[in-house]
Structures are given as C-alpha cells and as structure tokens.
Amino acid sequence: MASGPRKFYRVAIVGASSLLGKELKQVLEDRSFPATDVVLLDESAMAGTLTEAAGEPTFLRALEEESFEGADYAFFAGSAADAERNWTAAQRSGATVIDMTGALAAKNAGTAWIPSLAAVLPPFATGNSGDGRGVYSSPAAPVIIACTLAAGLKAFETRRISLLLFPPVSERDQAGIEELESQATSLLSFREAAQPVFDAQVAFNLLSAYGVSSKPSLGEMRAGVAREAAKYLAGRAPVPAIQLVQAPVFYGYAFAAYVEAGSPAPAEQIEGAFANLGVKIIAAGEPQPTNVSVAGESEIQLARIEPDPNIANGAWIWGVADHLRLAATNAVRVAEEVIAGPVQ
C-alpha cells in the first residue's frame, strides 16, 4: 500500500540562543526532521538577534504567551525557569512539549523518554493528555549515560556499578566556557582569575565542589542526575552510584565506571549488550575515545572493557559523549517516535 504524503510540522525552540538550543536546531536539520517552520524563541534581551534556520536567515523572537500559536512541537532547551513558566502555554496552544531542561522531570510532569533504551527500558506513559498534546521529558546527557550503563549491564547480575562523571564547563552554557578561557589566560599571565560562574578556580584544576556562591552547586547537580536516573530505572535495572568531578574542559562528558558482576561475564558479551543500545565500541587497536574525538557524534562511545586486576568479575569502562549532541539527538528522537506513534 502506498503511503500518503509526508506531513510537516511547525517547531518552536525555547532557549534557541543557548548552546543546547543551537545544537538542537542543527540536529533537526541533520536528521531532516519534517519541519515546515522553525521558530526560535528566547528571552527579551536576545530578541532581534540575527541567526539562521534550515539555511535561511531569521531572527530570535521574544518569548511570549502567543509565541506557541500554531506550533506542533515545542522544545525547551534554555533555562529551567523558562520551561516552568511557559510549558503550559505551549500545551494549551496544541503543541507537544519536549523539555530538555529537567524542569518537568523535577515536577513529575510528562513522560521521561530515552528512545535508544526502549527495548530494555520502555518509558512510563504518565502525565499526557488524551488529545495528542503530549508532554515529554528528554533527559540530559549524564542521565542518558547512567541509564545506558544500567540497561547494558542489566542481564549480567550486576552487584555494583559506580559511575564517575566529568562534566565540562559548557554545562553552564556560554558563561562557563568564557570563564574557563578567561581563567586560563589570566593564570598563564600571573593575573587574578575571575570566578563569577564557578566561584572557584576551574582552569588547570579538578573540583569536587564549587565555591559557595555558585548556583547550582556541584552537589545539587549530582543529586539531580542521581534522582532522574533512579526514577527512570525504577527498579528495572541496577541503579549506579554516581559522583561528579568538574573537569577543566570545554566540551564533552567523559566518565569512568566500575562494574562488578555476580558471575563471570566476558567483556565481549558486555560490549555486545551496549552495541545493541546504539553505543559505539571502539575497535581493538583504535585510539580511546576523548572529549575531542567525540565532537559532533550522536552516540556514547566506549573504550574496550578492561577487567580489574585484583577483583574477580570486576571491570572498568571508559567512555565519552558529546553531551550537547547526545541530548539534542535524544530530544529529536522523542519527537520522531511521537510522530511514528505515541508511547503506550
């Protein structure tokens, strides 16, 4: 039977000037998402800024109540505050809401969804209306990483998973990048380094905590990742122990995980389980994945799994992901799955 004509959709991106908003726009274009119009929305201070969408020049528009009129999909990629204030307006306008800020996950609103894990961890359909105006939460990169590790190890009677995440400064958007750059330049010139974002020296340093004036704190970020991961796994897979250490890098979310299985599990079998979840395993003899090598890649990349030399059935996993690309791709895949057929 011949398929009907392809339908096209009007898309609104809130927080379009953020690093995540810009990456989302690029992913929509790269995946040929069927958008007839992409409306770029941001705070009033950014309104009127010239940019482009689908290769055509356009302007950022101020975020207002009427901004979502005619929108089929509304992505929230800016601040959590913007999402909290405006997601109901987007829903009332008839748009399907996809939140990337974590605001709706914190409010238990909508359905959290990681499409790459659906075969092992299908999403819980909660908080959506029956009239097609769905509300979805697309998790951030560290939550996707934690849940992917748990899903890949689910079948191996895992006793323990410990996950150490190294967030880049771009998790604090452009301001974080500018602070690392400024600090590095100042320190190399033997000048005092400014600390408005992290309230601590992040350049040439590793941080287990930020300064007291930095909000959110690293502890709050860790708690949020742990909370969202545990909620998504919901007893269906072992929940990792999670710790964050701020790294002095601009982009890319690196991580190291220690895994202890209940019985011998060949590394090749574990690697195969991850490959079935869309994770790229670096081939033997190839360089290990780095923050630089994963730039622009949509999937998590893992080095070959290494047995621990002292602990029976213990193993180490090293991986990296382009956190902006990973998060944006997940959000667009949620929209694609909704178009294909709503989650049950």
Residue 289 is classified by DSSP as P
State how far the alpha carbon of 321 is from the alpha carbons of 77, 119, 289, in Å: 18, 21, 9
Q: Exposed, middle or buried, 25 (CB in 10 Å: 0-12/13-18/19+)?
A: buried
Q: What pLDDT is stored for residue 6 in this prediction?
A: 61
Mind listing the pLDDT tens digit for each residue in 303-312?
999 999 999 8
In whole angstroms, what is the distance from residue 267 CA to residue 312 CA?
13
State how far the alpha carbon of 229 is from the alpha carbons of 86, 146, 242, 276, 321, in Å: 25, 6, 10, 20, 17
Under CATH, domain 143-323 is a member of which superfamily? Dihydrodipicolinate Reductase; domain 2 (3.30.360.10)
pTM for the whole thing?
0.92
Q: What pLDDT is stored for residue 64 in this prediction?
A: 86
Q: Which token pair is 160?
A: 């323990």
In whole angstroms, what is the distance from residue 121 CA to residue 247 CA?
30
In whole angstroms, what is the distance from residue 15 CA to residue 79 CA?
7
Tens digit of pLDDT per residue, the chain (344 long)? 445 556 899 999 999 999 999 999 999 999 999 998 999 998 754 554 545 555 554 668 888 878 999 999 999 999 999 999 999 999 999 999 999 999 999 888 889 999 999 999 998 865 554 444 699 999 999 999 999 999 999 988 888 999 999 999 999 999 999 999 999 999 999 999 999 999 999 999 999 999 999 999 999 999 999 999 999 999 999 999 999 999 999 999 999 999 998 888 788 888 999 999 999 999 988 999 999 999 999 999 999 999 999 998 999 999 999 999 999 999 999 999 999 885 54
Closest by CA to 14, choosing from 48, 39, 36, is 39
CA dihedral 319, 325, 327, 330 (to 10 degrees): -100
Cβ proximity of 78 and 18 under 8 Å: yes
* Residues of each domain in the chain carrying CATH 3.40.50.720: 9-138+327-340
State the residue for tokens 């193993």. Answer: 315
Long-range contacts of 51-54, Cβ-Cβ distance < 8 Å, separation of 24 or more: 51/16, 51/17, 53/25, 53/29, 54/29
Residue 236 is classified by DSSP as S
9-138+327-340 to CATH, choices 2.40.160.10, 3.40.50.720, 3.40.630.10, 3.40.50.300: 3.40.50.720
State the residue for tokens 């047995």. Answer: 307
Instruction: Estimate the crossing angle of helix 323-340 against helix 141-152, to 10 degrees.
Output: 70
Residue 278 is classified by DSSP as T
Q: What pLDDT is stored for residue 62 in this prediction?
A: 86
Q: Write phi, then psi, for 76 (nearest 5 degrees).
A: -105, 110
Q: Cβ neighbours of residue 230 under 8 Å, at least 6 residues apart?
A: 239
* Residues of each domain in the chain carrying CATH 3.30.360.10: 143-323
Q: What pLDDT is stored for residue 335 in this prediction?
A: 96
- Which helix (H) or strand (E) segment holds residue 94: the answer is none
Residue 308 is classified by DSSP as -
In whole angstroms, what is the distance from residue 300 CA to residue 330 CA?
12
- Max CA pair span of the chain: 71
Q: What pLDDT is stored for residue 57 in this prediction?
A: 46
Query: In the chain, which ranges are continuous DSSP H helix?
Result: 19-30, 80-92, 103-106, 141-152, 173-188, 218-233, 267-275, 323-340
Q: Exposed, middle or buried, 16 (CB in 10 Å: 0-12/13-18/19+)?
A: buried
Say whether 133 sits in a helix, a strand or coil. coil
